[in-house]
Structure 1
Amino acid sequence: MKYPGEPLNILHTIGLKELYPIIRISFTVKGNFDVNRFKQAIMLTEKVVPELFCKYSLTDNSFIPVTDDLEGVLFIGIDPDIDSERWDLFADPQLRIYLNHNRVTIYLSHILTDGAGGKQFLYLLAKAYNEGVVDNCQNHQDIDWLRKLLAEHPVKVDHRVDHPTQPLSLPKLADDDQQSRRTLAINLTPAEGKELIKAAHHEKVTLNDLFMAAFGQAIQRYSDANSISLACPTDMRQFIPKKGQLRIANHTSRYNISVRSKLSAPFEKLVWSIHQAMQENKDNFQCFQSVKSLIDNYDKYSLSELQQTVEDNYHVRNISYTNFGIIDDHQFHFNGCSIEDFYMLGTYRRYPMFQVAVSTYRNRITFAFAMVGTDQEERFGRAIMMTMVDLLRNYTEKFG
């Protein structure tokens, strides 16, 4: 049996040597956590999304079953950062879960689903654990709604938008062969998050504007660029008329912004510039530019031609930003347990490639990165995130 893929699965099949397409979710569980019940819950998710237990076939954009149990899916007492290096999406299941005492680490294939779909997987997993059934759950992956939106909101594709002339970059540090996989996260307290929201409302900007500005300026301090150019992924599910459908799939496009910025200018000026750029993009449905050519040509071009189309309009940037938004604790919880120290990440990036991922769970905003780097490079990544936090705290003190 074979499960056909959709066009947007191809988005993350390029640049595999530089960037392996995965989503990493990590948290601790405290309380009466039942491992056997958890195992059964994982099996139940496969009944709704069979692709989770499949390998991905690049030749015809399909998913082929490789297991009907937890072999190759669940690992206990193994370091995920080390073991996941041997994960092969083209031979192994698209889901990989590690249990280490009370720490749970979940890896999902980014070929199969995006970050928003990753959150929906968490909700499905929690439902399966808490209720023991997933009746009436059906996963939707179709993009008929997107084809309709592209017809209703025609956009002109300009490859230069996704390829800035002055991309952000980080300096290469001393050569060292001790690079390894590592993750790091720092938080704002719930009280700090509340004050930041208050400041954003006061200044009529979004939290996402603030996060992008803080990340952009932190990177620009080490980059030879007079502009801050960033790609901001956005969940296109917001445009689907039928709300509430389970969609563990790739439905993400991205907004591209490039704003002039002097390091000597006030941070709040950069925030407002980014807010205006993002608002203009939203008003013009600019996000559709990044996927239009792929959708239009999916039935006409070969796979290699489609991958080149992706490279033209959705290419991998060395400096990357993503905001997973709020993970709903009403939908993601295990009965009799508490979930703590939660964060979501994109894939491991080999320094000087770098991505900051933002996620919010139970009112706690977390900034995190997954890196292939040395101790020195990890400290540098921490310094970048600490700079972001300092900028946001200062903004709160000024406008909160």
Structure 2
Amino acid sequence: MYYRGEVLDFLNMLLTNDTAPLMRLRLVFSSKVDVERLKAAVLASAQIVPEIFGHYQSEHNRFEVTEQQVNAIVHEVQSPYSPENTDFDFTTAPQLQLFVVHHDGYDVLQAFMSRLLADSVGFKEYLYLLVQAYNYDDLSGYRNERRLRPVITQLQRQFTRPRPHGELVTTAVKLPKYTGISLRHGGHVMLSSSQFSRVRRAAKAQNVGISEVLLAAYAKALQVLTRHTTITLPCPVDFRQFTATAEQTTRIANLTGTVFLTIKVDADANFNDLVQQVHTLLDKERSRAAFLYRLTNLQKMNHTLPISLMRKFTQRWLAQRPLTYTNFGTIDQQRLKFHGITVVNCVFSGAFQITPRMELAASTFAGTCTLSFNSLGSERDYQLAMKILENIQAQLLLWAQTQKNASAKPNNN
């Protein structure tokens, strides 16, 4: 059976020619997982999202499901096996891979989902659906909405159709590439629940979002390490926020667009001013809604042009993105309760990017925010990426403390 792909599925295929287009999830449980129950949950979820078993055919932008063999998705392995070293090919294998890694007394679930099937929000929605299926909830009335057309229709009602605004800008700054043996690396830093709570309070006091603060810190870290004073970063825009969701409907799909923020970062820039600059730029880009112009054109091409022509036209304006950012947001603990076992930790992250490309990923669980990257490069490449993360962490903590001290000063007026 064939399931038609949407234009953003195709776009993600074009953006990930050199690396497997995947997202990662690591769940640490307090005890053992019932693997047979997990397999049954995967099969139950496939009644709603059959594409998880599909092979992606890029020449037709569709998913082909020939059979639903659950053992092609769920794998049992023993620690210290590292599933992240697997070479994923979503054109010949399912769009989802689950590895239950057995440890003494507990299990770790590592999940890998294709970006051809869903964006970061869609990956989270699938996780919640899988939990419901694992808990034997009644899913008979559920459906998955992957279509982009209703979203575009709603967006066109909310935004004036923008004029074309030239070509998409490419990132002005690039990281250096060091020589050495190329290996897979994963790096992360964490903001504890108390630290991240202070960052959230500071953001709320400034009327800005967490993503805006993270992007400001990302830009500042890049300026410090590269000396560039103009940094262009992509910021994801989730189109779900503009459209209502019907009851018993999940949206395990690609429904995220991108706006590009060109940030001016002076060496002595005040971080507060930098955050406000990012906030202003993002407001401007959202109101200009250039993503709607591109989205509408892509939708038209998807219905009228052969894929070969669509690829040719799209690549003319498709921006290269050596530096990317994904915010998986907050994982809802109330929706992450597997029957009989407790989730101790949950972290989302992105694909293994070939250096000098880098993807900064953020996810929050139990109040703790984890910033991470996955890379394929030398040890020096890894150390540079870790310096960026540590610089971001330091910027956030210093800013939160500064905002706290400023609000605590007595008013003498």
Q: Which residue of the partner structure matches residue 100 of structure 1?
A: 101
Q: Which residue of the partner structure matches residue 139 of structure 1?
A: 144
Q: Which residue of the partner structure matches residue 38 of structure 2?
A: 38
Q: In structure 2, what residue type is equivalent to 1:41?
A: A
Say whether 1:79 aligns with 2:82. Answer: yes
Shift of 1:224: 5.2
Counterpart contact for 1:44–1:133, Cα < 8 Å: no
- Residues 1-400 of structure 1: matches in 2 within 5 Å? 1-31=1-31, 33-77=33-77, 78-83=81-86, 85=87, 87-101=88-102, 102-131=107-136, 133-152=138-157, 153=159, 154-160=161-167, 162-164=168-170, 167-173=172-178, 175-176=179-180, 178-223=181-226, 225-243=228-246, 245-400=249-404
Q: Deviations over 1:52-88 (max 9, x none)?
A: 01101112111111432223212221421212x1x21
Shift of 1:94: 0.8
| Alpha-carbon separation, structure 2, partners of 1:242 and 1:16 | 29
| Alpha-carbon separation, structure 2, partners of 1:236 and 1:203 | 24
| Alpha-carbon separation, structure 1, partners of 2:289 and 2:340 | 44
Shift of 1:262: 0.7
Q: In structure 2, what residue type is equivalent to 1:223?
A: T
Question: What 5-or-longer segments of structure 2 have no aligned partner?
Answer: 405-413
Counterpart contact for 2:131–2:336, Cα < 8 Å: yes
Q: Deviations over 1:207-232 (max 9, x none)?
A: 11110011111122233532121111
Q: Deviations over 1:294-328 (max 9, x none)?
A: 12322222213322444345434011111111121
Q: Deviations over 1:239-297 (max 9, x none)?
A: 11335530111111012111222122122221111011112222333432442321232
Counterpart contact for 1:359–1:367, Cα < 8 Å: yes
Percent identity (aligned): 23
| Alpha-carbon separation, structure 2, partners of 1:67 and 1:128 | 20
Shift of 1:349: 0.4
Q: In structure 2, what residue type is equivalent to 1:35?
A: V
Question: What 5-or-longer segments of structure 1 have no aligned partner?
Answer: none
Change in Cα spacing, 1:340 to 1:313, as seen in structure 2 (3 Å) is: farther
Change in Cα spacing, 1:104 to 1:277, as seen in structure 2 (3 Å) is: same
Choose 209-218 or 373-382, whichever is displaced more.
373-382
| Alpha-carbon separation, structure 2, partners of 1:138 and 1:123 | 14
Counterpart contact for 1:185–1:343, Cα < 8 Å: no
Choose 284-293 or 191-200, whichever is displaced more.
284-293
Change in Cα spacing, 1:296 to 1:17, as seen in structure 2 (3 Å) is: closer
Q: Which residue of the partner structure matches residue 410 of structure 2?
A: none
Q: In structure 1, what residue type is equivalent to 2:69?
A: D
| Alpha-carbon separation, structure 1, partners of 2:365 and 2:348 | 10
Shift of 1:395: 0.3
TM-score for both structures, normalised by structure 2: 0.90
Q: In structure 2, what residue type is equivalent to 1:378?
A: Y
Q: In structure 2, what residue type is equivalent to 1:208?
A: S
RMSD (CA atoms):
1.9
| Alpha-carbon separation, structure 1, partners of 2:16 and 2:31 | 39
| Alpha-carbon separation, structure 2, partners of 1:254 and 1:353 | 17
Give 3-state SS (helix, strand or coil) of 1:48's partner: coil
Change in Cα spacing, 1:184 to 1:333, as seen in structure 2 (3 Å) is: farther
Q: In structure 1, what residue type is equivalent to 2:21?
A: P
Choose 230-239 or 217-226, whichever is displaced more.
217-226
